[in-house]
């Protein structure tokens, strides 16, 4: 154990305290990697949770981390906290030490760590998924659905998809992704990172690249991890031209390459295939100026930072030397007040400043004013650091979010004078962030100076920037200017995409401006764009809220003609609106047309492989047949809408009761076409018995006065009811879907 400096005095500033904590962490890191026996009792006492947490994260192996964890437990003045327990659990999960992980969780549940509350379900899900424990993941997932008032968050779907992908369970991964879309959870960058990495592992490089190239149009941020995975995959397959293209795209997106991508740069340079990427590659090769004075950056859960950490050990004459440990978030927190004593302590530390470290610190500051003070200060520190396009871009984004227009303008003027070109992604981010800070005019100025700031841009990029500008003006409640920009966009030959139109229509629908909603929908038709389900639903809800049921019904018919389905809430609103206006027959028709996908046995998770496209949410290459994902459960209820005709109500009950019987008797794994086919056959048989027996069963008596009046008390069916029954039978027989229609026809023709 190295001898440490004495503990700082109670009056020491926060930077001095942070530097002392970093020394403690470095001492533990070195001891864990040396051949000497580790004695935690030699450390000054008490050890705080911050030091213990980062020492655990820096352990070279799960065994050494576990040994340190138990040693810390033995200290008289130390108590494990949520941070230390979570750090230990993450290490065990990543190392697939399932038994040790479960022991730790049982210890938490039994009260062994009184200072730590029980982990949240999402934390448990994350640990079990990392450890590859499918059974525990399924149990935790089911419990989250039972306990939660809302659907699980996007990250929970990402974890389960990633688990199935890692286990090679591709069909299960697709099912969870489909359920994610159906449940209304928006896929994010992490979702597509999992998909891209899976396609790369499967050798489908072109498919992975296709997904990656669509992300920008889908308003999904492309990350360093995605770039690294693709570059490495194409490098290994010898497709150097694609690697060079990725490097160019990375520069365009303004992304700082991580450690893994730097290794690809070295390989690419060694091949001599550099083309116009030579300057960019040279910029991010290891900096000889830093040498052994580099820093081991504390771990981060951020997707961009996931590949930053490399081997932090140096060998020198048989002795282990470590790069000093540094946590940008903790250092930024210590500097939050930016007082002279703290700044002086930072200067005394003589850190070696790099673009990556400066960017990390800028992002970690909570206040834009503190970030600006640091940005100006670091430019004058000894060591030769100079701000580059990455640090300037990060600072501009921070200032734009906080609405510091003057400072942003001064930085933009400086980069224009010096000929620096910002990335297109940075310019778009600034326009978006000005929307948050309600600075629409400043966003418009940036838009008008696009070529001066980042050079020539493609039509597709300009279309995306128009979309961001429109969103900013909408957020600033400048609707009239937004519509002027739409006209300007169209006149310049740039047709807004469906997402842009949908966002505008939703805004004006919420404002009650039906005329503008209709105008925008007319522009969609004139542009020969195909409306998606989300756009149709916006129109239906807008008409219903203004009590225009006839127009809402017409949009519903157009939607069905396009083979799209409304969600349950939109359908229910339409039925309620029709019912309120006395259009009972039309309301029943809407229910009947939406019936196969809307009425279900409770506790059965229905999944449609037809994705519901929404604003900022597009899905690639999804299949279109409906199917069910069934879990073991008890049937608690069967719900049928009130007011349907008697025969329709009875056929629904027959169909759903067959589902119930299958659940209660253990038939959980039938193929969709088999199960739905059986249930449709039962519904058809019930209709047959009612129509031809002449003695209608009163088990499913009418919930509609108009229907019940057509049958006598003896149960004799009227001619109208017989015709209605024939119609319902015909709809079952002629259903075009694979599960319901084909399933029924195969089942109906089967031998008894």
325-326 vs 296-297, strand pairing mode: parallel
* CA–CA gap between residue 317 and residue 465 (Å, rounded): 56
Tell me the pLDDT tens digit for each residue of 336-352: 999 999 999 999 988 88
Q: Is the Cβ–Cβ distance between 647 and 687 less than 8 Å?
A: yes
Whether the predicted pLDDT of 713 surpasses 90: no
> What pLDDT is attached to residue 249?
85
Indicate whether this model's pTM tops 0.75.
no
Longest CA span, the chain? 103
What CA–CA distances, in Å, run from 560 to 423, 564, 586, 589? Answer: 43, 5, 14, 12
Quote the CA–CA distance of 702 and 500 in Å, as a whole number.
46
Tens of pLDDT, residue by residue over 675-710, are 889 999 999 999 988 887 754 444 444 444 344 444
Non-local (6+) Cβ contacts of 113 within 8 A are 79, 80, 85, 107
* pLDDT score at 186: 84
DSSP, residue by residue, 47-90: PPHHHHHHHHHT-SSHHHHHHHHHHHHT-TT----HHHHHHHHH
CA 427 to chain centre: 23
How confident is the model over 294-301, as a mean pLDDT? 48
Q: Cα–Cα distance between 580 and 567 in angstroms, integer?
A: 20
**C-alpha span between 735 and 739 (Å, rounded):** 9
Report the distance separating Cα 128 and Cα 220, nearest Å: 27
Q: Tell me how far apart the alpha carbons of residues 710 and 171 are, in angstroms, rounded to a whole number.
A: 49
Inter-residue contact 281 to 249 (CB < 8 Å): no
Q: Of 344-348, 438-442, 493-497, 582-586, which range is least confident?
A: 582-586
- pLDDT digit string, tens, across residues 159-205: 999 999 888 888 888 888 888 877 778 889 999 999 999 899 888 99
Q: Residue 168: which region, alpha, beta or left (left: phi > 0; alpha: psi -120 to 50)?
A: left
Half-sphere exposure (Cβ direction) of 293: Cα atoms closer than 13 Å: 11
What percentage of the chain has pLDDT greater than the value 70? 80
Residues 6+ apart with CB under 8 A from 358: 375, 378, 385, 387, 391
State how far the Cα of 175 lies from the Cα of 173, in Å rounded to an integer.
5
> Which tokens is 18 given?
């942070």
Q: Return the ∠ at Cα 736 (arms to 731 and 739), rounded to 5°.
A: 100
Smallest Cα–Cα separation from 442: which of 472, 487, 481?
472
Q: Who wins on pLDDT, 720 or 193? A: 193
Please state whether 403 falls in left (phi above 0), alpha (psi between -120 and 50) or beta.
Answer: left
Of 339, 270, 329, the closest CA to residue 301 belongs to 329
First to last CA, the chain: 81
Q: What is the DSSP string of 420-474?
A: ----HHHHHHHHHHHHHTT-HHHHHHHHHTHHHHH----HHHHHHHHHHHHHHHH
Q: What angle do CA 172, 174, 177 make, to 5 degrees?
A: 110
Among candidate residues 743, 552, 545, 732, the one with its CA nearest the CA of residue 651: 732
């Amino acid at each position: 154990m190295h001898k440490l400096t004495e503990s700082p005095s109670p009056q020491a500033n926060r930077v001095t305290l942070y530097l002392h904590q970093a020394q403690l962490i470095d001492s533990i890191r070195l001891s864990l990697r040396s051949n000497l026996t580790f004695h935690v009792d030699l450390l000054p006492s008490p050890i705080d949770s911050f030091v213990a947490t980062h020492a655990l994260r820096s352990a070279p192996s799960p065994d050494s981390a576990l040994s340190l964890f138990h040693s810390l437990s033995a200290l008289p003045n130390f108590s494990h906290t949520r941070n230390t327990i979570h750090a230990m659990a993450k290490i065990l999960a990543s190392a697939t030490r399932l038994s040790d992980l479960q022991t730790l969780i049982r210890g938490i549940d039994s009260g062994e760590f009184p200072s730590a509350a029980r982990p949240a379900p999402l934390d448990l899900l994350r640990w079990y998924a990392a450890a590859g424990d499918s059974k525990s993941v399924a149990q935790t997932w089911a419990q989250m659905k039972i306990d939660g008032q809302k659907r699980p968050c996007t990250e929970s779907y990402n974890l389960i998809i990633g688990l199935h992908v890692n286990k090679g369970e591709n069909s299960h991964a697709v099912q969870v992704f489909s359920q994610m879309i159906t449940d209304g959870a928006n896929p994010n960058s992490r979702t597509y990172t999992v998909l891209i990495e899976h396609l790369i592992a499967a050798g489908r490089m072109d498919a992975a690249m296709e997904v990656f190239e669509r992300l920008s149009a889908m308003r999904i941020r492309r990350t360093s991890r995605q770039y690294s995975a693709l570059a490495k995959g194409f490098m290994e397959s010898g497709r150097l031209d694609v690697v060079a293209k990725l490097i160019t795209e990375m520069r365009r997106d303004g992304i700082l390459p991580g450690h893994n991508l730097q290794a690809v740069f070295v390989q690419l340079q060694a091949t001599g295939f550099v083309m116009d990427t030579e300057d960019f590659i040279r910029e991010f090769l290891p900096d000889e100026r830093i040498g052994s004075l580099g820093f081991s950056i504390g771990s981060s859960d951020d997707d961009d930072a996931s590949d930053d950490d490399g081997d932090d050990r140096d060998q020198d004459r048989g002795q282990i030397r470590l790069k000093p440990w540094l946590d940008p978030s903790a250092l930024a927190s210590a500097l939050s007040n930016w007082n002279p004593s703290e700044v002086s302590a930072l200067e005394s530390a003589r850190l070696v400043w790099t673009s990556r470290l400066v960017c990390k610190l800028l992002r970690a500051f909570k206040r834009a004013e503190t970030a600006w003070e640091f940005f100006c200060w670091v430019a004058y520190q000894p060591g030769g650091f100079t701000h580059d396009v990455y640090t300037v871009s990060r600072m501009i984004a921070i200032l734009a979010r906080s609405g510091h227009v003057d400072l942003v303008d001064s930085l933009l003027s400086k980069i224009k004078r010096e000929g620096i070109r910002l990335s297109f992604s940075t310019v778009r981010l600034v326009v978006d962030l000005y929307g948050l800070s309600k600075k629409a005019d400043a966003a418009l100025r940036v838009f008008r100076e696009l070529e001066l700031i980042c050079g020539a841009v493609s039509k597709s990029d300009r279309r995306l920037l128009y979309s961001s500008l429109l969103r900013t003006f909408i957020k600033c409640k400048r609707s009239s200017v937004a519509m002027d920009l739409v006209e300007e966009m169209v006149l310049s030959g740039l047709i807004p995409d469906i997402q842009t139109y949908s966002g505008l229509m939703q805004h004006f629908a919420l404002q009650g401006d039906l005329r503008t909603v209709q105008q925008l929908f007319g522009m969609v038709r004139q542009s020969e764009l195909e409306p998606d389900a989300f756009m149709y639903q916006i129109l239906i809800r807008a008409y219903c809220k203004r009590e225009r049921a006839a127009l809402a019904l017409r949009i519903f018919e157009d939607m069905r003609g396009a083979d799209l389905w409304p969600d349950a809430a939109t359908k229910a609103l339409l039925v309620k609106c029709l019912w309120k206006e006395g259009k009972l027959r039309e309301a029943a028709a809407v229910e009947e047309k939406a019936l196969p996908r809307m009425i279900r046995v409770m506790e059965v998770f229905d999944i449609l492989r037809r994705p519901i496209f929404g604003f900022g949410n597009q899905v690639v290459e999804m299949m279109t047949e409906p199917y069910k994902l069934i879990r073991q459960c008890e049937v608690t209820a069967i719900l049928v809408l009130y007011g349907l005709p008697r025969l329709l109500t009875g056929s629904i009950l027959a169909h759903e009761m067959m589902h119930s019987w299958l659940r209660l008797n253990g038939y959980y794994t039938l193929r969709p076409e088999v199960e739905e086919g059986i249930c449709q056959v039962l519904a058809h048989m019930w209709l047959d018995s009612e129509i031809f027996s002449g003695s209608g069963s009163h088990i499913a008596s009418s919930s509609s006065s108009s229907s019940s009046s057509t049958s006598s008390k003896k149960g004799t069916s009227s001619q109208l009811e017989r015709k209605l029954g024939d119609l319902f039978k015909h709809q079952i027989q002629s259903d075009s879907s694979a599960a319901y229609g084909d399933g029924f026809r195969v089942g109906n023709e089967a031998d008894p």
